[in-house]
């Protein structure tokens, strides 16, 4: 087999968990500080803890990646970001994981020798997007979780960049970074690390006005957790360098336990190849005990999407089958053990009641306990174990305790010769240092022995090192005080520690770095207030269906811009109508929300159909489309004109700059930018866009772009772009549209945005273009979105 160099990457929501996952075998740890991380409700680390974490990791040849993977507002970019990162950069931070293109631009400019990793929230789905990020300066991309092994392999083969992919943990229903569901249910935005997990709520699934699910299948947006152990060799061979474990919100048992398992099997494959690779059921059971949502899925790597990937009956930890009720005699319960039971195992009886075991019981044995007579413990009922006391104890002892702390071996050579300074040489982590003590003297009574010196030098206690090879070269009849040995050992370890860490530390950031943000923002010569509309807004209308297209043409309406959804270009009659429309009005082709590596050929055919209608302007939704359009334009000799949609987030001036550069390098022309859904008007007006802006003033918001399909999950897939509805009693009814040609679905907000009736808000936003869906009608369910209030 190939000699792979791969990385096990573990999550940590606190300093103690960081230590535990390194002790459990992680090569690198990703964690969040107290700002700008996508898990705002994790424990996270403050400044002092972060620097301690960097030192702890580096003394063990491990790496720390800081999550800066949220979207930042203008004032955060200009006043907080660089100051926040600078001390971590100086302490040797190995990389930042970034979602926001503006944040990427700032950090890469301010700290050019620090690695930048493109977050999975950048929605990298193919080689073109990966190449764009490499050109920006990314050392690594974290692929979208929806990619297959073949799609990852193609990226690896065509783009020389490190690939990081998730191998274990929770799966989002939506493409990461393309979800507004939590945000549109309140003010907790996933793009700000505050996801309220609205996808884990219960929904009625409505097809043709009929509810088609029940209480056993009421969580249509809740995927199972991923476990990729069985296909780990395939993932490594596909070109994945870093195998990422999800779980910064999880506890130490989860983080360290899962890490230890993936360390074991990564090493097994690298050392023994496929013939020597075998995953034990015992280890799978341990992972199930730690956390599962109705068993596991191997994700999109090789799984068919649909029901088998979903946890339809329960959105949280399901535990494992552990007990069966044999008899209930007025609360005196006779249980049969379906698996080995341990002290401190916790069993769920109902949402309010649990039972904790006080003893051990072998599988198949029976035992009696006294519980409340009111509990629903009827004969033959299966009880699930939610916490395995034995696993929890073992992980705590092996990885979370001081006794289980990973330490680096240090070799020492002690030299003592009468009349010369005593010397201690230390070596660890490819680093050598020497420290000196007082001159050795002739022994009056008891000369030093080699054995006694080695014994004292081995006492490394709570340091970061353990004794390796220790030797002593002692002259005849030499006296070596124990206090001298202790002092040399202490000074030697301190010097060795500092010397090792100095290899990672960087020079203090020059003050000019702190002006990089303001200097960059001045590169944009036009502000939002210098708009092009000359006192009146230009109008855009979005046509989505064949009926809307016909109706619009018959209406005789004339707008400054007409968006035509890409699906209409597959129809011969529609193309004829679109071509006629394009002769009299500006027509822009609205492209799919997602395209993947394997869909490039289909995308190319779509562009041919669009170009046959004499259209050169495109509403673009992702980086992969920009790269593909640029490539097709170069081949056919036209310059694609691009309007970026709201999902290509421009929350700050620097993201605009970066996006403009990307589009230019790809050989395209940036025509205008769609303003984001989650900024309020004050935040929008702080941004220097430098190009015309468009504002979605009326329409249903796409709150989820998913590779999953609700219709397929419930057995209704007919490959015919169908629509289904999801209803939640608290948040309302959502429409989910299947986009079969590009194999994804789009879920739309329960409430429609309509800013038309609030002229003062529209004046505050002051866009150049206003976009409306063609068939929207005023109704009392409409709202102004986040344009007035914003998100946290």
Q: What is the CATH number of the domain that holds 98?
A: 3.20.20.70
Identify any residues that bridge with 724 across adjacent strands, giving them in sequence order. 736
pLDDT along the chain (792 residues), means of 10: 76 95 97 81 86 96 96 92 94 97 94 96 96 97 97 96 97 94 88 91 96 96 97 97 95 97 98 96 97 94 88 96 96 97 97 95 97 95 97 95 85 95 95 95 88 95 94 92 94 97 89 69 49 73 96 94 97 96 96 94 96 96 97 93 97 94 96 95 91 93 96 92 94 94 94 81 89 74 84 82
Cα–Cα dist 201/241, whole Å: 35
- Spatial separation of the C-alpha atoms in residues 103 and 654, rounded to whole Å: 7
Please answer whether residues 514 and 485 qualify as being in contact, where contact means their C-beta atoms are separated by less than 8 angstroms: no
Residues 341 and 360 in one domain: yes
State CA 214 to chain mean position distance: 32
Name the domain count of the chain: 4
Which residues are registered as beta bridge partners of 751? none
Are the C-beta atoms of residues 475 and 416 closer than 8 Å to each other? yes
Q: Do 482 and 382 share a structural domain?
A: no
Residue 192 falls inside a structural domain = no
Sign of CA dihedral 291, 295, 298, 304: negative
Residue 345: phi, psi to the nearest 5?
Answer: -65, 140
The answer to whether 448 and 474 are in contact (CB under 8 A) is yes
Cβ-based burial of 364 (10 A; exposed 0-12, middle 13-18, buried ≥19): exposed
Predicted pLDDT at 118: 98
Of 402, 425, 447, the domain-final residue: 402
Task: Assign 3-class secondary structure to 380-441.
Answer: CCEEEEEECHHHHHHHHHHHHCHHHCCCEEEEEEEEECECCEEEEEEEECCEEEEEEEEEEE
Q: Which tokens in the block code for residue 10?
A: 């573990």
Task: Return all residues near 319 (Cβ < 8 A) that are at least 6 apart.
Answer: 289, 292, 347, 348, 384, 385, 386, 387
Residue with tokens 């920009």: 626
Instruction: Single out the residue in 270, 301, 332 at which a domain terminates.
Output: 301
Identify the bridge partners of residue 370 per DSSP, sorted by sequence position. 332
Judgement on whether residues 587 and 695 belong to the same structural domain of the protein: yes
Looking at the fold, whether 97 and 238 belong to one and the same domain comes out as yes
Residues 633 and 548 in one domain: yes
Give dist(CA 356, CA 334) in Å, integer: 15
Both 393 and 442 in a single domain? no
Asked whether residue 25 is domain-assigned, the answer is yes
Residue 397 shares a structural domain with residue 438: no
Residues 572 and 670 in one domain: yes
Rg (CA), the chain: 31
State phi, psi for 314 to the nearest 5 degrees. Answer: -160, 135
Task: Give the end of a domain, one of 402, 427, 451.
Answer: 402
* Distance separating alpha carbons of residues 402 and 398, to the nearest angstrom: 9
478 & 532 share domain: no
Token pair of 792 as six digits: 């946290």
In a domain, 443, yes or no: yes
In-domain check, residue 709: no
Q: Is 149 contained in some domain? A: yes
Domain range for residue 767? 523-699+754-773
pLDDT at 528: 38
CA pair distance 79, 547, nearest whole angstrom: 50
pTM score, whole prediction: 0.94
In terms of C-beta density within 10 A (0-12 exposed, 13-18 middle, 19 or more buried), how is residue 668 classed?
buried
Same domain, 33 and 56: yes
Give the Cα separation of 725 and 211 in Å (integer): 9
Residue 594, domain member (yes or no): yes
CB neighbours of 500 closer than 8 A, spacing ≥ 6?
Answer: 58, 59, 428, 429, 431
Residues 6 or more apart in contact with residue 68 via CB below 8 angstroms: 36, 37, 81, 85, 96, 97, 98, 99, 103, 107
The CA distance from 777 to 104, in Å, is: 40
Dihedral (CA of 553, 558, 559, 560) sign: positive
């Amino acid at each position: 087999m190939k000699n792979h160099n791969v990385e096990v990457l573990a999550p940590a929501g606190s300093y103690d968990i960081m230590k535990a996952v390194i002790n459990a075998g992680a090569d690198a740890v990703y964690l969040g500080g107290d700002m700008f991380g996508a898990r705002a409700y994790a424990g996270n680390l403050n400044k002092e803890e972060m620097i301690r974490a960097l030192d702890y990791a580096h003394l063990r040849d491990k790496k720390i990646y800081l999550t800066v993977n949220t979207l930042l507002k203008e004032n955060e970019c200009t006043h907080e970001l660089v100051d926040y990162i600078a001390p971590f950069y100086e302490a040797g931070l190995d990389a930042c994981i970034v979602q926001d293109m503006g944040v990427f631009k700032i950090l890469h400019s301010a700290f050019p020798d620090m690695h930048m990793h493109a977050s999975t929230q950048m929605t990298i789905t193919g080689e073109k997007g990966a190449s764009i990020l490499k050109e920006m300066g990314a050392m690594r991309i974290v692929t979208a979780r929806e990619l297959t092994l073949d799609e990852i392999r193609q990226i690896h083969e065509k783009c020389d960049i490190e690939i990081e992919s998730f191998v274990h943990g929770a799966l989002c229903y939506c493409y990461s970074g393309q979800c507004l569901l939590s945000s549109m249910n309140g003010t907790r935005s996933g793009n700000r690390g505050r996801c309220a997990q609205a996808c884990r709520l219960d929904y009625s699934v409505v097809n043709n006005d009929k509810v088609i699910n029940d209480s056993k299948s009421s969580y249509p947006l809740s995927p199972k957790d991923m476990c990729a152990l069985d296909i780990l060799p395939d993932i490594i061979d596909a070109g994945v360098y870093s195998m990422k474990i999800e779980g910064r919100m999880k506890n130490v048992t989860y983080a360290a336990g899962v890490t230890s398992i993936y360390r074991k099997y990564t090493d097994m494959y690298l050392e023994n190849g496929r013939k020597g690779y075998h995953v034990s059921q015992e280890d799978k059971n341990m992972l199930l005990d730690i956390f599962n949502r109705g068993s596991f899925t191997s994700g999109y790597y090789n799984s068919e999407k649909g029901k088998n990937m979903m946890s339809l009956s329960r959105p949280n930890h399901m535990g494992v089958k552990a007990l069966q009720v044999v008899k209930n005699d007025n609360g005196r319960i006779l249980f049969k053990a379906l698996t080995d039971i341990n002290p401190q195992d916790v069993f769920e009886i109902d949402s309010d009641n649990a039972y904790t075991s006080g003893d051990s019981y072998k599988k198949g044995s029976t035992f009696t306990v006294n519980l409340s007579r009111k509990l629903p413990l009827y004969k033959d009922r299966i009880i699930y174990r939610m916490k395995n006391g034995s696993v929890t104890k073992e992980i705590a002892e092996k990885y979370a305790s001081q006794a289980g702390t990973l330490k680096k071996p240090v070799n020492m050579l002690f030299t003592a010769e009468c009349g010369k300074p005593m010397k201690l040489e230390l070596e660890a982590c490819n680093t050598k240092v020497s420290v000196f003590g007082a001159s050795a003297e002739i022994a009056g009574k008891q000369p030093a022995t080699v054995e006694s010196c080695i014994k004292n030098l081995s006492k490394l206690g709570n340091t970061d090192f353990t004794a390796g090879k220790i030797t002593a070269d002692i002259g005849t009849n030499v006296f070596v005080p124990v206090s001298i040995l202790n002092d040399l050992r202490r000074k030697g370890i301190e010097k060795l520690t500092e010397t090792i860490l100095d290899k990672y530390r960087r020079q203090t950031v020059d003050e000019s770095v702190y002006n990089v943000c303001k200097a960059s923002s001045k590169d944009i010569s036009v502000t939002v207030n210098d708009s092009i509309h000359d006192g009146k807004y230009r109008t855009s209308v979005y046509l989505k269906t064949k009926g809307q297209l016909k109706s619009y043409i018959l209406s005789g309406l004339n707008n400054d811009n007409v968006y035509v959804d890409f699906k209409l270009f597959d129809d011969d009659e529609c193309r004829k109508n679109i071509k006629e429309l394009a002769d009299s009005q500006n027509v822009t082709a609205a492209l799919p929300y997602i395209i993947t590596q394997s869909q490039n050929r289909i995308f190319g055919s779509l562009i041919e159909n669009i170009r046959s209608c004499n259209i050169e302007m495109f509403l673009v939704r992702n980086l992969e489309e920009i790269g593909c359009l640029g490539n097709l334009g170069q081949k056919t000799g036209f310059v694609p004109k691009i309007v970026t949609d709201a999902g290509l987030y421009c929350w700050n001036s620097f993201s605009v700059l970066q996006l403009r550069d990307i589009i230019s390098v790809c050989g395209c022309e940036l025509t205008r930018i769609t303003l984001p859904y989650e900024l309020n008007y004050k935040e929008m007006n702080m941004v220097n866009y430098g190009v015309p802006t468009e504002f979605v003033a009326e329409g249903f918001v796409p709150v989820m772009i998913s590779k999953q399909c609700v219709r397929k999950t419930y057995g209704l897939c007919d490959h015919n772009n169908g629509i289904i509805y999801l209803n939640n009693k608290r948040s309302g009814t959502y429409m989910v549209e299947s986009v079969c040609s590009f194999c994804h679905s789009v879920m739309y907000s329960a409430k429609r945005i309509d800013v038309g009736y609030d002229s003062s808000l529209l004046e505050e936003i002051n866009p150049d273009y206003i976009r409306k869906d063609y068939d929207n009608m005023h109704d009392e369910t409409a709202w102004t979105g986040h344009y007035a209030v914003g998100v946290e």
